[in-house]
Amino acid sequence: MLAALPEELRPQTRSDAYLIQALLEQRSAKPVFGWKIAATSRAGQAHIGVGGPLAGRLLAERVHADGGTLTLGANRMRVAEAEFAFRMARDLAPQETPYEQEEVSAAVEALHPAIEVPDSRYEDFATVGAPQLIADNACAHQFVLGSPAPALWREMNLAEHGVRASATGGVEHQGTGANVLDGPLVALTWLANELSSLGITLRAGKVVTTGTCLEPVPVGPGSQVIAEFGVLGSVSLRFGRSL
């Protein structure tokens, strides 16, 4: 853990921070699995002390199967987040004009229920600010992807769709898609445009998880987490009892 990056290495802008984050791809054992969006809800923004969303890379070696057992280890955030995730059907390349939501939605192959387990390398991640958090991969850590949702999701208002999640022995948390930048497809469009501004293509086959749609669920060793997305399916994980 560290209090902050050394001053001479500390990014001052989001662009510089994303350049640092990109170095993770060189150290990853596999191609990047996809992208995450941090701080798409007020609860998520408050949790890490920022005023708007941040993009991060989902590393393939930290993706787990639905129902799998994860190791909590030294994770200091100790929360699980229920999220709408999208798998892309075609590339969205950088362009001069912003992508519209309809175009981004049409480029989606499938919707999946998902759970993200974030973490940070900073001792106090709520005070270091957006550039340093982006450099720390926007708090990306472990990720669980559920089965594809029925195709009827395209006919639904995801902003109004309810989601609930709980961990063993804990209080059930409830939320809706509207907590994610007013809707999961709004968040996905934000990510496509954020990558476009950085000269990065959102590739076909990549997964984008759009941020927690409810208050992050506290977890600990031995916790089982279940996130219910109603007719869109469910996803779960368990933490081993040992650290």
Lookup: tokens for 62? 């930290």
Query: What is the dihedral angle through the alpha carbons of 222, 125, 57, 158, rounded to the nearest 10 degrees?
Result: 70
Give the mean pLDDT of 216-239.
97
User: Does residue 243 register a pLDDT over 70?
Assistant: no
The reported pLDDT for the residue numbered 242 is 67
CB-neighbour burial class of residue 48 (10 A; exposed 0-12, middle 13-18, buried 19+): buried
Give the strand order in the sheet containing 224-228.
69-70, 234-239, 224-228, 162-167, 173-176
Query: Angle at the Cα of 238 (from 132 to 71), degrees rounded to 5?
Result: 50
Lookup: tokens for 129? 């600010």
Confidence of residue 15 (pLDDT cuts 50, 70, 90): very high
Asked if residue 55 lies in contact with residue 35, where contact means CB atoms within 8 angstroms, the answer is yes
Asked if residue 44 lies in contact with residue 216, where contact means CB atoms within 8 angstroms, the answer is yes
**How large is the C-alpha radius of gyration of the chain?**
17
User: Does residue 177 register a pLDDT over 70?
Assistant: yes
Nearest residue to 140 (alpha-carbon basis) of 69, 225, 243, 37: 37
Stated pTM of the model: 0.95
Tell me, letter by letter, the H, E, C secondary structure of the chain: CECCCCHHHCCCCHHHHHHHHHCHHHHCCCCCCEEEEECCCHHHHHHHCCCCCEEEEECHHHEEECCCEECCCCCCCCEEEEEEEEEECCCECCCCCCCCHHHHHHCEEEEEEEEEECCCCECCCCCCCHHHHHHCHHHCCEEEECCCCCHHHHHCCHHHCEEEEEECCCCCEEEEHHHCCCCHHHHHHHHHHHHHHCCCCECCCCEEEEEECCCCEECCCCCEEEEECHHHCEEEEEECCCC
Confidence of residue 26 (pLDDT cuts 50, 70, 90): confident
Judged by average pLDDT, the poorest of 2-6, 24-28, 41-45, 125-129 is 41-45
The reported pLDDT for the residue numbered 29 is 86
The reported pLDDT for the residue numbered 22 is 96
Lookup: tokens for 110? 């499938």
Note the Cα 134 to chain centre separation in Å: 13
| CATH number listed for the domain at residues 7-239 | 3.90.850.10
